[in-house]
Structure 1
Amino acid sequence: MSPYRYRMDERHDKVIRSTDFDALSCRISAVLRQYLLDPYIQHIVQGLRTNLPRLPGHKFSANRTVKAITLPKLPIINRGTYIRTTAIDTIVESFAKNASGDAFQIISLGAGSDTRSFKILLEYGKKVVYHEFDFGETVLLKAATIKGTPELASLVGCAPSTEDTLPTELHTDNYHLSALDLRTIKNVNFAEAFPYIDLTLPTLILSECVLCYMKPEQVDEVLAAFLKSLRCGAVLIYEPMGTPDDGFSRVMADNLSQRGIKLPTFFRFPDLWTRLAYLELMGLHSVQLSNMAYVFRHWVAGPELVRLNRLELLDEVEEIDLLNEHYVLALAQFGETSWQNELQFQVFSQPNTAV
């Protein structure tokens, strides 16, 4: 690889890592506006204040970065963050309850600053093993934040500590935070590359705006590696989607491109049925898909909808629907899994009936 190409790739990876700060900023705004309840996000912010200046290349920009992520967002962003977060939480809870008291496993790809692991560990304790994977720099920050925060350290099962050097990973009986570049997963010995993953446990794999940053063949390789190695479970994918002949899709792609963000699979699946066929081709079954506009209309109702409508004056109702129509929530099962969730989806395949 030429030095120029290497620098370009490094620059692109840095932009992708920065999208975690974007997502964190959206969650902070939604929490401050009372869309979401998240008692752990304050620790993530404090961890950034403490540890970001310790990372090479961030010493002088850290304060500016932290200040930027705490700025309030527009109502359309807060509403979108709410439905994204609560929809994924709902599915995770459904999967956990379906375990019926047995042990289960969650694998979060590109977990970043997400706090979902802390809530699940608090609720399910020793019944769950929670794995989080991300770029090395992101893992450094999160591991240092957890170890430097007694409440978070207690939840994951490690001793709180502050160290002169940032921890590269963090592993306990029920929580594993590991550095991983998913693009390198091709042809690895899965058991050797992922020694902390239990191949026999029912497993929920989460990809929340992660696979969309990878080339199509790399996405195929990631899914194939997990599906052929794990016994049973489900895959949950949340990401943007578009069609080449749709003006809004082109605007989304152009806006992201101006920030240096490429979405190689953005136009890969022009509709939900195309994505369903792809997931089935990869060996998944009981596939369920919806765009997020449908999810909001069918999953949020009654007192909760009344509460949301009182939080902020919302003028961009049609714009919110249009934006949500360009994000997909896909849930699919693999192996001998018979998880009969009662959630409404737009498009779905027949449940697996194999014995």
Structure 2
Amino acid sequence: MTQTTAVLGTRALNRATLDRQLLLRRAPLSAKAAVEHLVGLQAQEVKPPYYALAARLDGFRPEQLSALLADRAAVRTVTLRSTIHLHTADDSLTLRPLVQPTRDRELRIFRKGLTGVDLERLAGIARELVEAEPRTMRQLREALSCEWPDADPQALAVAARCTLPLVQITPRGLWGRSAQVRLTTAEHWLGRPGEPAATADSAVLRYLGAFGPASVKDMQTWSGLTRMRPVFERLRPRLITFRDEAGTELFDLPDAPRPDPETEAPPRFLPEFDNLLLSHADRARVVPPAHHGRTWQVNTFHCPLLVDGFLAGVWRLLDDALVVEPFRTLTRTERDQVTEEGARVLRVLHEGASYDVRFGTVLP
């Protein structure tokens, strides 16, 4: 007998993903537990992780995340997709070696500027430099150029970043107290040796727990890793499968939540580069086709607004207001809910500031 694979429509995928992402209802989790569950937070800039948790956690205060960084229970480092993420200390030590292939690919881009450079020797010298004293990228670049004056200085600094597990030390990343980026190794900052890489199997299971149901290409988009099909095939007996409306096979954890597609999804203000919008090859589960690309302009990624679980506008703090620009006409109820959620964000992250919530123009 042929078994028919169930099809998950766009709304079903949307609600399942929002539930895993703690966006259907705010979760009573600690900041550390949430960062661990989400397998890190995108953190190119200082504020986005704070906005990400404010949207997801009940009772969150920015001081909670700052304390994790100050206590070295969490770090900012380059991992998934070769971008800066905020991870728990434990995850930073195991995920960084797992995604080393992505750093190796990045390094190949700069190979012409590294002619004649012994990368193993470079890694050793760079380690000595940043462990003796945390360095900015400029300081690291200048110091390495003394050893290899004929090499491209930028390529030398990139090589150090790709071959070593560098972390940004505090006060960088602290709410209201940030500073320029200074780097040292994860081992030196955390006071413990490196650990074996997380297994690809465990990474897939954690990804599905936070972003599923998902395809092989989705997981590769999230991680930056390639050739993950054999891992999914090895895990197939432990997983269940679906199809999306285009026929793509989706994998999931058997006991993971998959809410009714009509479950209410309250408005949420997300930060730029939130992983919700960057962790699937097919973003239709969150981004309606009509709005594809509307959060990007040149090299700027605007803060997304979710209404009914889907991208419905952008927002920005401008002067004395949190300005919301919807992509479609909102109902009166939706506008009221967006205004209420915006006011909540301001209370949580900007207590005492005199911001209003207004509807207007954000995109130039």
TM-score under structure 2 length normalisation: 0.30
Between structure 1 and structure 2, the one with the greater Rg is 2
Q: Greater relative contact order: 1 or 2 (C-alpha under 8 angstroms, separation 6 or more)?
A: 2
By percentage of residues, which structure has more helix? 1
TM-score under structure 1 length normalisation: 0.31
